[in-house]
Structure 1
Amino acid sequence: MLTHQHVFDYQRDGYVILENVFSQEEVGRMIDTVERGEGVAQANAGGPRDASGRSSRLALWYDLRDDIWSAASTAPRIVNSVRILLGEDASFFHGKVMLKEAKSGGAWEWHQDYGYWYGHGFVFPNLISAFVALDASTVENGCLQVLRGSHRIGRLDHGRVGTQTGAEQARLNQIESMFERVYCELKPGSVLFFHSNLLHASAANESDRHRRSFIMCYSAASNPEITENGLRYRPSCPVGDEDAIMRY
């Protein structure tokens, strides 16, 4: 599904959007899984609070399981796109479902994912996220905002903003005007692929529409993690069946 132009745009801007990666029926099954409260979407609900004290519900896991989320995370249309954008084989890092619910979902402060993934021990910022819109993601319900091209500045220092990890505000104030702010409005089933050093944020959801999303995160297979026992390399992400989502 990726073209040479998509790859160029990703390298230049730090992100690229692909529409209709997942069908409406596949998205419907994911939403149904969330609403039934099955598995991780229920067990780990609860997320860090923004500067105003509001939070969005968050489910997070680090392994591939026999569920709809892992079926999507190993789908060829995702894994092969990630490989192309990383320029090499990919390893699964983690997945999460974010529930920014109507009238209550909190903001996510400006940050780089590598700002805190650095603490996991990854040596290089060769990591990528694939953000799937389950509901229409709009300015009104707190869509993701990015600073186009900001992945090229390297990792900023991060600290606490509320109970979240946010980019150093003094540095952010100085550099924010250097980059175009883009509001990444997405239709359900569209995917935003973005670099781990891309500065991004999202506003609180003050609307009467949910903004639920599913995010799959990957590292380059050659990117080691520093552990107390030495360097660790994650195994390559398996590639599953394109139709597996429809079995759940």
Structure 2
Amino acid sequence: MEVTYTNGDQLTITDEMKDAFNKDGYLIVRKLFCNEELQKMKKNYEDGEDYHKNKFMVKDKEGNESAQITWNFPGNDIFGMAARCEKLAGTCQQLLGGEVYHYHSKFVVKDPKTGGQRAWHQDYGYWYKNGCLFPDMMTVFVSIDTANKENGCLQVLEGSHRAGRVEHGLYGGEQGADVERVEELKKFCPLKYVEMNPGDALFFHCNLLHTSDINSSESRRLGFLPAYNRKSNDPVIDSHHPRYTPLDMVPNNAVLECENFTDLGGKGFLDMANLKSIKAQVQFNK
């Protein structure tokens, strides 16, 4: 289902939208962030030195690389305000049916002609290993750049979240979901290319199978992906992502009013290359 956000308003999640999310595993909100907000986001990404210091390169089986930057706590910069704002975090709270907290955020960057492919996977295929007992979790893909078929937009298997968690591991030389199970699910779950303009957002369930192709275009594909967990699903073990931490939600105008582009203190960046807790797991990229 697709809806369009009217800037400045509250984003009301109707029963129809909840039903569509539960049936399909995702909800697309067009124009969730306006052009002025996007310009601030781009400046924050370019000027935030700590973002680039914590960049981690991921290779696909063909040797093409994508960049990932991951942090555990929202912080108080532009992206922190975005992750904490009502139209984003509050929407996740309504879709998941209970209080949520910020599980982590990341950038995934596919540079022109080099940005790598991602295998089919579910986010919960990895997160359950972190002690999250229930799939009461979700991710939002916010397009900072245009995302289309040419530069490797997300592809989803509509309704595949209802199949439950699929086993994840090393299949066919790639880390991801069980290839044979995915091929069977393709017979029942329609494949959708999620093409988005800057400012559009895809809210998707943690068990929704998704993938993306190589960026074969001349344009960068930058995505901002905050992930949320329900308070009631507080992990039962410690991992590289946080247990329940109260989320200080902010109003929808917080991004427009924020002028912090460079102070990234307290975000808890992850050294993805050296984290022992994930070396044996599949890399959870998009």
TM-score, length basis structure 2: 0.81
Task: Report the secondary structure of 2:150's partner residue.
Answer: coil
Question: 8 Å contact 2:130–2:238 — kept in the other structure?
Answer: no
Tell me the percent identity.
34
Is residue 51–residue 162 contact of structure 1 (8 Å, CA) maintained in 2? Answer: no
Deviation at 1:161, TM superposition (A): 5.7
Once residues 175 and 164 of structure 2 are traced to their aligned partners in structure 1, the CA distance between those partners, rounded to angstroms, is 17
Residue 162 of structure 1: how far off its partner (Å): 8.8
Shift of 1:39: 4.1
State which of 220, 226, 249 in structure 2 corresponds to 1:210: 220
* Alignment match, 1:82: 92
Change (3 A) 1:67 1:39: farther
Say which SS state the counterpart of residue 48 (structure 1) adopts: strand
CA contact (8 A) 1:125 1:197 kept: yes
SS in 1 for 2:17: helix
Deviation at 1:209, TM superposition (A): 1.0
Question: 2:163 maps to what in 1?
Answer: 153
The residue that corresponds to 1:27 in the other structure is 38
CA displacement at 1:243 relative to structure 2: 2.5
Q: Give the CA deviation at 1:185.
A: 0.6
Counterpart contact for 2:56–2:68, Cα < 8 Å: yes
1:54 to 49, 55, 64: 64
Contact kept, 8 Å, 2:153 with 2:195, in 1: the verdict is: yes
Structure 2: runs of 5 or more not aligned: 1-10, 260-286
Alignment-derived partner of residue 172 in structure 1: 182
Q: Measure, in 2, the Cα distance between the counterparts of 1:162 and 1:236.
A: 40
Distance across 1 between alignment mates of 2:177 and 2:151: 23
Match of 1:92 in 2: 102
Given candidates 232, 236, 241, the residue that maps to 2:246 is 236
Matched, 1:192 2:213: no
Q: Is the 8 A contact 2:147 2:196 kept in 1?
A: yes
Runs of 4+ more than 4 Å apart? 161-164
Q: Normalising by the residue count of structure 1, what TM-score does the alignment of the two structures yield?
A: 0.93
1:118 aligned to 2:119? no
Contact 2:101/2:247 (<8 A) preserved? yes
Q: 2:7: which partner in 1?
A: none
CA contact (8 A) 1:58 1:96 kept: yes
Q: From 79, 89, 108, give the equivalent of 1:69.
A: 79
Cα gap change, 1:161 to 1:53, in 2 (>3 Å): farther
Amino acid at match of 1:219: N
Cα pair distance change 1:162/1:66, threshold 3 Å: farther
The answer as to whether partners of 1:109 and 1:161 remain within 8 angstroms in 2 is no
Determine if contact 1:50/1:161 at 8 Å carries over to the other structure. Answer: no
Query: Aligned to 2:170, what secondary structure does the other structure show?
Result: strand
Q: Which stretch has the larger CA shift, 188-197 or 219-228?
A: 219-228
Aligned counterparts of 1:196 and 1:4: Cα–Cα separation in 2: 20
What is the CA distance between 1:52 and its match in structure 2? 1.6
- How many residues align? The count is 245
- Corresponding letter in the other structure for 1:193: F
Which amino acid in 2 is paired with 1:241?
Answer: P
